Amino acid sequence: MERWTFGEAPLDETVELASVLRDLMGTALALEQPSDELRALVADLRARQTRLAAQLPPDLRPRVGDDPSPDRRVYLDHSRDVGDYNACFPRYELTVADDRAVGRVEFPIVYEGPPGVVHGGFLAVFFDCAFQQLNCDMGVAGKTRSLALRYRRPVPILAELEIEAHRTVADGSIESSGELRLDGTVMCRAEMSAVLGDRAALPAVSPRRRP
């Protein structure tokens, strides 16, 4: 079965940056005292961001559609592994087969809400990403209609968690459900409903421009 993709792959440098930024932010959040090293780093990052911004297209809307302006930015594929290139999303491992997914995730300090606990909103983001990858890897996906979570127990940061998810397709809908477990104990459950999409109806995505 062909994977469902929509968009371009991220740059290798962007993937490396996401990992560094996630680790760096976690380190900064755990600092006890003001740091000259951190102040110097912030100044350097601001300067480099300004120089990088000069390389961006003038229009930051995605370059999607039948006749997109060449002044727009490239759109990156969000069907799977978004956390690999965007530090705002959690990273996880997921294996998909026969409408079922199993995997692992560990939430670092950057996703903390209450002391030592993952913020519930990030759990919703995680399940949305995992369900989307399950659907896309199975070749049929669609727009999310609803996403509901039941928080059974506080989910700890810095702990290896297991996810198991299933999905069914019927009557124009995709129904997904999943559990997040710690040492076999269910910590959180989620259910998602999506409208069954038509791949042929997707708009065109412009490829990366050559230098």
Give residue-wise pLDDT tens across range 99-155.
Answer: 999 999 999 999 999 999 999 999 999 999 999 999 999 998 999 999 999 999 999
Domain CATH for 94: 3.10.129.10
Report whether 122 contacts 161 (CB < 8 A). no
Would the pLDDT of 210 be above 90?
no
Phi/psi for 27 (5° steps) reads: -65, -45
Rounded distance between C-alpha atoms, residue 95 and residue 22, angstroms: 23
Helix (H) or strand (E) holding 43: helix 36-53
Which amino acid, residue 22? R
Would the pLDDT of 2 be above 80?
no
pLDDT at 1: 62
Domain membership flag for residue 21: yes
**Who's near 138: CB < 8 A, 6+ residues apart?**
1, 96, 99, 167
Domain membership flag for residue 82: yes
Domain membership flag for residue 206: no
pLDDT at 3: 82
For the chain, how long is the longest CA-to-CA vector?
Answer: 60
Cα torsion angle, 181, 164, 16, 51, sign: negative
Domain membership flag for residue 102: yes
- What residues make up the domain containing 150? 12-201
Domain membership flag for residue 211: no
Domain membership flag for residue 120: yes
pLDDT-derived band of residue 170, with 50, 70 and 90 as boundaries?
Answer: very high
Domain membership flag for residue 210: no
Mean of the pLDDT values across residues 37-57? Answer: 97
* Count of structural domains, the chain: 1
pLDDT at 47: 98
Which amino acid, residue 208? R
The whole-model pTM stands at 0.93
Domain membership flag for residue 207: no
Mean of the pLDDT values across residues 63-89? Answer: 93
Neighbours of 100 (CB within 10 A): 14
Rounded distance between C-alpha atoms, residue 128 and residue 89, angstroms: 11
The length of the chain, given as a count of residues = 211
Rounded distance between C-alpha atoms, residue 131 and residue 140, angstroms: 12
In the numeric block, the tokens 């929509």 are attached to 6
